């Protein structure tokens, strides 16, 4: 493991973290606006978060 790969993996994970944070925040806003759509929003949120998380893990393994 060299330093550039580690830094690169770290940056990718930061990106994934920000992405998941934004998804979570926006989902909260959406739920606050439309509490009756809670279930649908949650499902969509989890799928999007899972997809981004996959990228984060791929970066960790590449690094």
Partner 1 sequence: MYFCTDFKDTVICSKMQRKTLVRILSVLLFITSFSAVAQDEHTEEAKEILPEGKTKKEEIKEFINHHLMDSHDFNLFGSTDEETGKTHHYGFPLPVILWDGGLHTFMSSEFHHGENVVESNGNYYKLYHSKIYRTDAEGTINYDEKHHPTNVRPLDFSITKSVVMMLVVGLLLIWLFRSLAKSYAKNGSLPKGIGRFFEPVVLYIRDDIAIANIGENKYKKYMPFLLTVFFFIWFLNMFGLTPLGVNVTGNIAVTTALAIIVFLITTFTGTKDYWKHIFDPLGDGMPWIGKIFIYIILVPIEILGLFIKPFALLIRLYANMTAGHVVMMSLIGLIFIFKSWIGGPLSFGLAFAIMLIELLVALLQAYIFTMLAALYFGFASESHEHHEEHEGEIQHL
Is residue 1 a contact point for partner 1 (CB under 8 A)?
A: no
CB-CB contact of 12 with 56 (8 Å)? yes
Put residue 22 in one of left, alpha, beta given phi > 0 → left and psi -120 to 50 → alpha: alpha
Tell which one of 15, 30, 53, 63 touches partner 1 (CB under 8 A).
Answer: 53
Place of tokens 């920000």: 18
Closest CA to 28 of 41, 43, 15: 41
| Residue choice 10, 24, 25, 54 for contact with partner 1 (CB under 8 A) | 54
Q: Is 60 an interacting residue with respect to partner 1 (CB under 8 A)?
A: yes
Binding string, residues 4-43; x marks residues near partner 1 by CB under 8 A: -----------------------------------x---x
């Amino acid at each position: 493991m060299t330093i550039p790969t580690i830094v690169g993996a770290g940056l990718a994970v930061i990106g994934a973290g920000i992405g998941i944070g934004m998804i979570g925040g926006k989902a909260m806003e959406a739920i606050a606006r439309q509490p009756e759509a809670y279930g649908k929003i949650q499902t969509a949120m989890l799928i999007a978060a899972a997809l981004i998380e996959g990228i984060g893990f791929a970066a960790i393994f590449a690094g």
